[in-house]
Homo-oligomer: A and B are copies of this chain.
Amino acid sequence: MIVPDSADVTTDVTAELLRYAEACRTAIPAYLPADGVTPYLRTPVADYLARPGKGLRPALCLATCEAFGGAVADAIPSAVAIELLHTAFLVHDDLADGSELRRGQPTLHERYGAALALNAGDALGVYAMSALEDNRAGLGGSLAGQIAAEFEFMARQTVDGQALDLGWRIDNRLDIGPDDYLELIMRKTCWYTTILPLRVGAITGSRGRADVEPMIRFGFLLGAAFQIQDDILNLTASGGAYGKEPLGDLLEGKRTLMLIHVLAAMSPADRNRIEGFLAAPRASRGREDAIWVAARMEALGSIAFAKAFAAGIASDAATAFAAAFAGVGETSAKAFVRSMIPFMVERTW
């Protein structure tokens, strides 16, 4: 790991993360439906937002805006738009995956039914666009247009990545390698989780003067570290702060580094069993089988492999960070973004 005293840094990161996330969270209600809108929409739309998430995406955007010379307030509409879109993706992903838990409570479709959840996800996307519209007043039409184009490009990547993720599972593809996995999470996770927040933060803070090209590489590495740790936590975390269904990824047949590794490492007999597990419909995959797959992953070093992989990516991310933030001075905002690198792979929630 790059940062020597990671324990201290992590403590700081958590407090700063909370501060940035809170700045976004308090701005969100102004963009949600008010009186005159049916509770069949208002209630499900507000539900996930009332369950505290980490706020990683808005925090990255707001801190990067500050690091590039702007004020937190300058990037609030974009940060709100990111968080609302993220929430929209969560709602639709949970529905598509048949997930049961989100942030420690039943998923939206479990609570309100698939139809109202689907519509609430659509609405969250609409409200995100409303937030983006506010950039026009705050930053002028030209910069607002540039940011809107960033969002549009990102959204295209996200739906493409989501389709790939679903398609691989539907077709039960077993020929996926680590490169395929990285390509998938580049599209599905990194663009919206890290690359866009970083780029939009830098564009906003520098009023369009920063070269945001190097943010793609840094964002990719940061986002990949985040996603691999996310996948690991789904296997290893339990109870408490971890709000998703443990082993849910296995039950949903998600292609992860651990799955790729274990498929390559296991005996033919075991491989037959796991292939049968993956070929079965989601509803008939048993939890005992998932526990067995997780145990094989542990025994065959698949989790250690993924951890080492993530550590290597985090190390590369530190170099990429230096390039992407080379043009700006050392501020606490810049330090916060840097400290997100170890945070991504060390977090337990």
Contact with B along A160-172 (1 / 0, CB 8 A): 1011101100100
Residues in B neighbouring A119, C-beta threshold 8 A:
92, 96, 159, 162-163, 166
Contact with B along A98-125 (1 / 0, CB 8 A): 0000000000000001111011111101
The verdict on A96 contacting B125 (CB below 8 Å), with A40-B166, A160-B37, A164-B38 known, is no
**Number of A positions contacting B (CB below 8 A):** 43
User: Cα distance A123–B163 when bound, in Å?
Assistant: 10
Q: How many copies does the complex hold?
A: 2
B129 touches A166 (CB 8 A): no
A8-16, A148-156, A200-208: which lies at the interface: A148-156
B149 touches A133 (CB 8 A): yes
Contact of A160 among B41, B115, B118, B155 (CB under 8 A): B41
Known: A96-B118, A129-B152, A133-B152. 10 other contacts (CB 8 A): A38-B167, A92-B118, A116-B163, A119-B163, A121-B122, A126-B152, A129-B129, A129-B148, A133-B145, A136-B145
> Could you pull out 17 A-B pairs where Cβ atoms are within 8 angstroms?
A33-B156, A33-B160, A38-B160, A38-B167, A40-B163, A41-B163, A92-B119, A95-B114, A96-B115, A96-B119, A118-B118, A119-B163, A123-B160, A125-B125, A133-B145, A136-B145, A141-B142
Query: Most chain-B Cβ atoms within 10 A of its Cβ — which of A40, A123, A170?
Result: A40
Nearest-neighbour CB distance to chain B for A95, whole angstroms, equals 6
Residues in B neighbouring A126, C-beta threshold 8 A:
152, 155-156, 159
User: Cα distance A41–B164 when bound, in Å?
Assistant: 8
User: Cα distance A79–B141 when bound, in Å?
Assistant: 23
Chain A interface residues (CB < 8 Å from chain B): 33, 37-41, 92, 95-97, 113-116, 118-123, 125-127, 129-130, 133, 136, 141-142, 145, 148-149, 152, 155-156, 159-160, 162-164, 166-167, 170
Residues in B neighbouring A33, C-beta threshold 8 A:
156, 160
Residues in B neighbouring A127, C-beta threshold 8 A:
156
Interface of A is mostly: helix
User: Cα distance A118–B120 when bound, in Å?
Assistant: 13
A40 touches B95 (CB 8 A): no
For residue A98, which residue of chain B has the nearest CB? B115
For residue A154, which residue of chain B has the nearest CB? B126
Residues in B neighbouring A130, C-beta threshold 8 A:
152, 156
User: Cα distance A238–B92 when bound, in Å?
Assistant: 35
B133 touches A148 (CB 8 A): yes
